[in-house]
Structure 1
Amino acid sequence: MRSAILMIAVAAAGLTTGEVRPFDGAGGFALLLLGLAAIAGIPWRYRYPWPFALGAIVVGLVSAVATYLPLVGVFVIATRRRTTETVLVLVLSVAAAVGNIVVGVPDVEEMLFLLGGAVAFLTTSAVGGLLAGNRRAMVEDLRERLARAEADRAVRDEQARAAERRRIAGEMHDRLGHRLSLLSVHAGALALRTDLSARTVRESAEVLRDTTHRAMEDLRTIVQVLNEPPCPEEDDPPGAEDLTAVEELVAEARAAGADVSLRSTALLMVSPPGRPLAGVAYRVVREGLTNAARHSPGAAVEVVLDGRPGRDLTVTVHSGCTGDRPAPEGAGTGLVGLRERVETLTGGTLAHGPLPDGYRLRAVLPWTKERHA
């Protein structure tokens, strides 16, 4: 579109100078076609800058319709931001314009006026090309920086996900070891005791079956997340199984001066969620309180736990804003690792983002009846 508009503008401006070199006879018609052909090369001006610029200067000497085409050539060369090339093509264009005007305009006053206008137009075109070249280089630099920043962020996010997977695998490894040790103890007891009643044997068998089932779940989780050797990391705090650790988190935040409220409609006392569900919920609340203290200090924060066994456990941390705008998301990787933990350990979903009245972090965790400590 730009090239088409530029072609029409150059041709229209050139046709207004027909009185200087009238298009009479076959020669005039041939020069008209030559000028139009040169103008038709405008769409390829940046692909072949030097052939276009030199051709524009030469054709502008002989074809009236291409009189203003050198302005485009000077502009194109100037966008390359090479001083020597820009000065050279500007001098050639000015020399061609001077020769053209001196030969075609006999009146001295009109000649001087046209010479001044030609020099001014060509110089303005060169300056405009330099400015456009600088702007283009600046835009390209910004695009490269943005691309590098996005690539760096992707690398950081991937590293955070990998680190979270290692932590999860380490925790599952310890838990699986505990399950297997329980299996060994109960199996050993059954093997050594021959005086046990049938009822005791059935109860021990049920314990073995239940422990084996949980060990298999832990093993499947390890297989899903283990892509690198696990590294040791802190386990869930005491009270994570029934989410009393969440109450302690809220109490600590209140003691530090934060305006935090806890509202729970989950049936925690009837059937505690157990691990790893409760541990993930605890980490969601901890991340939400941390982000609220960092991005909107002093704002009211509400923690909501909702759900029941056989349905979803929904954990929501809603923080208000201290100003007219909601808190920003930030550039940390804590949410990336948290999302990895939520999706891998529980198969749930994590959502976060600004709201008109603040910022919300919300996790939906499937709460099956089999998820117990």
Structure 2
Amino acid sequence: MVGALLSPRRSGRSTRDWIVDGVLFALVLAAGPLPATGLFGDDPMTPARGVNVALGVLSCVALWWRRRWPVQLSIVLSLATGVSPASDPAGAAAMFTVAVHRGGGMAAAVAVVNLLMAVPKMLLFAEAGEPWWLTPLLTTFGTAVVISWGMWVRARRQLVQSLAERARRAETEQQLRVEQARRGERTQIAREMHDTLAHRISLLSMHAGALEFRPDAPPADIAKAAGVIRSSAHQALSELRDVLAVLREGDLDDAPDRPQPGLDDIGDLVASARQAGTPVAYTREVEPPEDVSSAVGRNAYRIVQEALTNARKHAPGRPVSLSLTEADGGVRIEVRNELSRASSAIPGAGTGLVGLAERASLAGGTLEHGATGRGEFRLAAWLPWRSEDR
């Protein structure tokens, strides 16, 4: 408390502070020293009245330093009110300042000093026939009003500051959420790029390998393989360019949405695999509801794409069966291919199936994969039409 009592307040004043202090000085001067001069009555000026007016004026002038030393000044002015009624308005203003800026214990200490001054007031200024308890009562009432008003103003200011801080914190948290959403979208785009390029590059590798090992192939087959290579390379570059353009955008919300593949595009994916030399038996017995999210079709497309890419890597040229059926309020995807000791030389990151399992889990579905007892590798996934159906 001693440290708080002796620590000075800032002395710099804003324009608003100067206006408030000037208006306050004029009010306390008009309420205290000016009436005490007797200018508005017939009472003559006496030495006692002169001392009262002088102390009142000094108290009003001292209020200009109430922001710098509020507690010390309030105590001094409270002591002055004990011998100078003209100092009462200035003492009340100083006590109000303490309640607003220091609150709590400091306000209580200043209030006690002000209440003790009721004793000299009663002894020096009580009129004949006036009840002895009137001056203490008025002093107590005035002190309670000033302190209560100051504490209310302090509480209101703290509430406004708290609301402003909460608003700033909410804005900051919203910005963080937006940034996290952007990062998540960029991560999703990067995964899409991996799935797409893995499929396209596997086609390039397969046909380039065929040209390398069959240089004596008929010109028609070589031209066909070269056409597939050119088409796949063009599509891979185009998709890579689109993805990188989105990733370089400063604000993903302003970037146009790229067309995303869905269930209806799986047929083109199968046709591309067949063209690359992988016999695919494709069966589709499912139609999505009209209000289904596009994410379901996109996830199904990526799962089939990764499954066909893996089949082409690890069992090149072997038959693959793909079926899409409706089950349990969703779509079931099943891909089977023969196990083969032969494998293409296409390198892989080894995380394709892990990524598929994560994709299915985030969509509320399931994914299973592994070898069967019939010499096949089976991948089965189920995706709900709606996430709440999980």
Q: How far off is 1:126 after superposition? A: 1.5
Equivalents in 2 of 1:21, 1:81: separation in Å? 42
Letter matched to residue 134 of structure 1: A
**1:174/1:248 CA distance change after superposition, 3 Å:** same
The whole-number CA distance in structure 2 between the counterparts of 1:26 and 1:124 is: 29
Matched ranges for 1:223-234 at <5 A: 225=247
**Does 2:70 correspond to 1:40?**
no
Q: Which residue of 1 aligns with 2:150?
A: 129
Aligned residue number for residue 229 of structure 2: 208
Cα drift, residue 51 of structure 1: 2.1
Residue 17 of structure 1 pairs with residue 36 of structure 2:
yes
Match of 2:130, SS? helix
Tell me which residue corresponds to 1:323: none
Distance 1:118 1:163 in 2: 66
User: Whole-Å Cα distance in 2 between the matches of residues 91 and 134 of structure 1?
Assistant: 21
Q: Bigger CA drift: 53-62 or 169-178?
A: 53-62
- Helix, strand or coil for the counterpart of 1:239? helix
Q: How big is the shift at 1:134?
A: 3.1
Q: Is the 2:55–2:87 contact (alpha carbons within 8 Å) kept by the matching residues of 1?
A: no
Contact 2:21–2:64, Cα closer than 8 Å, also in 1: no
Take 2:36 and 2:298, find their aligned partners in 1: how far apart are those partners? 83
Alpha-carbon distance between aligned partners in 2 of 1:22 and 1:241, rounded to the nearest angstrom: 106
1:177 aligns with 2:198: yes
Which structure 2 residues correspond to residues 60-209 of structure 1 after superposition, within 5 A?
A: 60-61=81-82, 66-79=87-100, 80-82=102-104, 84-100=105-121, 102-109=123-130, 115-191=136-212, 192-197=214-219, 204-209=225-230
Structure 1 residue matching 2:263: 3-state secondary structure: coil
Q: CA deviation at 1:166?
A: 1.7
Q: Distance in 1 between matches of 2:216 and 2:69?
A: 96
Q: For residue 238 of structure 1, what is the aligned residue in structure 2? A: 263
Structure 1 portions without partners, runs of 5+: 227-234, 254-274, 281-373
User: 1:305-324 counterparts in 2 under 5 A?
Assistant: none
Q: Do the aligned partners of residues 21 and 126 (structure 1) sit closer, same or farther apart at CA in structure 2, a change above 3 Å counting?
A: farther
1:66, 1:213 → 2: CA distance?
91
Instruction: Judge conservation of contact 1:39–1:66 (CA < 8 Å) in 2.
Output: no
3-state SS in 2 of match to 1:109: coil
Kindly indicate whether the alpha-carbon contact (under 8 Å) linking 1:172 and 1:222 is maintained by their aligned counterparts in 2: no
Residue 174 of structure 1: how far off its partner (Å): 1.0
Aligned partner of 2:23 in structure 1 is 5
What's the CA shift for 1:143? Answer: 3.8
The 5 A counterparts of 1:224-373 are: 225=247, 237-239=262-264, 248-250=288-290
The TM-score, its normalising length taken from structure 1, stands at 0.51
Residue 115 to residue 124, structure 1, CA distance change in 2 (3 Å)? same
Check conservation: 2:186, 2:247, Cα contact below 8 A. Answer: yes
Please state how far the C-alpha of 1:69 moved relative to its aligned partner. Answer: 1.8
Q: Which position in structure 2 is the counterpart of 1:308? A: none
Summarize the Cα distance change of 1:34–1:181 in structure 2 as closer, same or farther, 3 Å threshold.
same
Cα-to-partner distance string for 1:212-260 (whole Å, 9 max, x where unaligned): 233234445269649xxxxxxxx95412699xxxx9453559xxxxxxx
Task: Please give the TM-score of this superposition, normalised by the length of structure 2.
Answer: 0.49
RMSD between superposed Cα atoms in Å: 4.4
Tell me which of the two structures has the higher relative contact order, counting C-alpha pairs closer than 8 angstroms and 6 or more residues apart. 1
TM-superposition CA deviations, 1:98-149 (whole Å, max 9, x none): 4245424544429865554333211111122233333334344444444444
Task: Report if aligned partners of 1:60, 1:66 keep a CA contact under 8 Å in 2.
Answer: yes
Cα pair 1:240 1:279 within 8 Å, conserved: no
Once the two structures are TM-superposed, the CA of residue 169 in structure 1 deviates from its matched residue by 1.0
2:377 equivalent in structure 1: none
Contact 1:34 1:63 (C-alpha < 8 Å) held by counterparts: no
What per-residue deviation string (whole Å, max 9, x for no partner) do you get for residues 66-114 of structure 1?
Answer: 32122223333334442x4333211211222542454245444298655
Structure 1 residue matching 2:108: 3-state secondary structure: helix
Q: Is the 8 A contact 1:35 1:64 kept in 2?
A: no
CA distance 1:125–1:33, shift in 2 (3 Å): closer
1:128 to 1:76, Cα distance in 2 relative to 1, 3 A: same
2:373 alignment partner in structure 1: none
What is the rounded CA distance, in whole Å, between the counterparts of 1:96 and 1:107 in structure 2?
A: 20
Larger radius of gyration: 2
Change (3 A) 1:162 1:222: same
Mapped partners of 1:126, 1:9: distance in 2 = 19
Q: CA deviation at 1:8?
A: 2.7
Q: Secondary structure at the match of 1:67?
A: helix
Cα deviations by residue, 1:315-363 (Å, 9 ceiling, x for unpaired): xxxxxxxxxxxxxxxxxxxxxxxxxxxxxxxxxxxxxxxxxxxxxxxxx
In structure 1, the partner of 2:76 is 55
CA 1:77/1:33 → structure 2, altered by over 3 Å: closer, same or farther? closer
Partner secondary structure for residue 250 of structure 1: coil
Higher mean C-alpha displacement, 113-122 vs 86-95? 113-122
